[in-house]
Amino acid sequence: MQTLVTGGGGFIGSHLADFLLDETGDSILLLDDFSTGQRDNVAHLVDQDRVELIEGDVTDDETVTELVTHSDRVFHLAAAVGVQRIVDQPLQSMRTNLVGTENVLDAAAEDGTPVFLASSSELYGKSEDVPFAESDDRILGPTSALRWSYASAKAIDESLALAYHRDRDLPVAVGRYFNIVGPRQTGQYGMVIPTFVEQALDDKPLTVYGDGTQTRSFTHVADAVEATYELLTTPAAHGEVVNIGAPEPTTINALAERVVELTNSNSEITHVPYEEAYDEDFEEPQQREPDVSKLEATLGWHPSTDLDRILEDIIDERTEAVVAE
Ligand code: UDP
């Protein structure tokens, strides 16, 4: 079986590649343009016989068609992600997220190749009606607040996937990721946990945005990868959108305190107004928590948050990196 992972050099994509290597006999094609993916993420994979790394862009129709045509299944994880990046590079981000997905779905529909499409809890927007179920209404801000361009693009991606399923019988499963975290995630695009861990290890102030009472439901990447694989390989999930997350929210204040404790850091915790952190039009979901009943009904399990395990994995990785330098 030949499996294509777009965004295979990325944070989740590289963990999925590890999983496929360990748990299946697949030959694995990894497509990445390394715009946000890191070469280090796949350095341990490129020498494996069963892995081939292709440097290319998902917006390049020819490359995508060629790879999808030679694959038996596709995990489409390539996307421009991270609030900071979306706000800084809205046009490029939207093109990657819209054109890339259409290229993958269109090529897969030729032979009915099964696809997993990575989507995001960002789609629920500013709704405060937690926990969020897949069939809930979405509440997004104005188009002038650039952050929402990501939710809009991913919503079109989802609608496209469902349309390909209905009109072309494409076996496609959509997973909405909720704040997936773990080793290899970079803080470069604003992700909170790697940012806090790096600040704490450097004894620099932890930058909590807003008043820190906002919540997020963090999910270990190992659980997210397993759910991703199972959704693609479970026919009942085809044509469905399913939340992937752990239903246990944490406030950002509590997260910052725990990071300081676990790193034995001397860092202070500071609060930074949103307009200073991003820009004046910035808007932010106050709460985010998945309803996992559909995931549970489809796969028979759902991830649970063990925040300390997540933080310890990341702290260990960052500490080892410093020792190795
Ligand atoms: N955040 C923070 N300090 C940072 C980076 C992020 O307080 O240095 C907050 C951010 O405002 C949000 C939460 O942490 O409330 C999660 O942010 P992230 O960008 O990781 O993911 P999001 O849920 O916003 O997509």
What does the pLDDT profile of the chain (325 residues) look like in tens digits?
999 999 999 999 999 999 999 999 999 999 999 998 889 999 999 999 999 999 999 999 999 999 999 999 999 999 988 888 888 999 999 999 999 999 999 999 999 999 999 999 999 999 999 999 999 999 999 998 888 999 999 999 999 999 999 999 999 999 999 999 999 998 888 899 999 999 999 999 999 999 999 999 999 999 999 999 999 999 999 999 999 999 999 999 999 999 999 999 999 999 999 888 877 677 889 999 999 999 999 999 999 988 999 999 999 999 887 666 6
Q: How many CB atoms are located within 10 Å of the residue 135 CB?
A: 8
Structural element, H or E, at residue 176:
strand 172-177
How much distance in Å is there from the Cα of 110 to the middle of ligand 1? 39
Q: What does residue 177 show for φ and ψ, rounded to 5 degrees?
A: -75, 135
Q: What is the reported pLDDT for 176?
A: 98
Protein residue with its CA nearest to atom 14 in ligand 1: 192
Does residue 189 have an active-site annotation?
no
User: In sequence order, which ranges of 43-143 are alpha helices (DSSP H)?
Assistant: 61-69, 83-88, 90-111
Cβ of 207 below 6 Å from ligand 1: yes
Cβ of 83 below 6 Å from ligand 1: yes
Atom of ligand 1 nearest to the CA of 189: 19
Cβ of 206 below 6 Å from ligand 1: no
How much distance in Å is there from the Cα of 296 to the middle of ligand 1? 27
Cβ of 214 below 6 Å from ligand 1: yes
Cβ of 216 below 6 Å from ligand 1: yes
Tell me the two tokens of residue 76: 């489409």
Cα–Cα distance, 113 to 182 (Å, whole number) = 30
Q: Strand pairing of 250-251 and 215-216?
A: antiparallel
First to last CA, the chain: 39
Cβ of 190 below 6 Å from ligand 1: yes
Long-range contact list for 312-318, CB < 8 A, 24+ apart? 312/262, 313/182, 313/183, 313/220, 314/181, 314/182, 314/183, 314/185, 314/193, 314/194, 314/197, 315/197, 315/201, 315/262, 315/263, 316/183, 317/183, 317/184, 318/194, 318/197, 318/198, 318/201
Protein residue with its CA nearest to atom 19 in ligand 1: 191
Cα–Cα distance, 269 to 264 (Å, whole number) = 13
How much distance in Å is there from the Cα of 37 to the middle of ligand 1? 20
Protein residue with its CA nearest to atom 15 in ligand 1: 214
Q: How many CB atoms are located within 10 Å of the residue 139 CB?
A: 13
Q: What is the reported pLDDT for 323?
A: 63
pTM to 2 decimal places:
0.96
Q: What is the reported pLDDT for 252?
A: 98
How much distance in Å is there from the Cα of 232 to the middle of ligand 1? 29
Of 124, 150, 177, 278, which is the active-site residue?
150
Cβ of 179 below 6 Å from ligand 1: yes
Protein residue with its CA nearest to atom 17 in ligand 1: 192
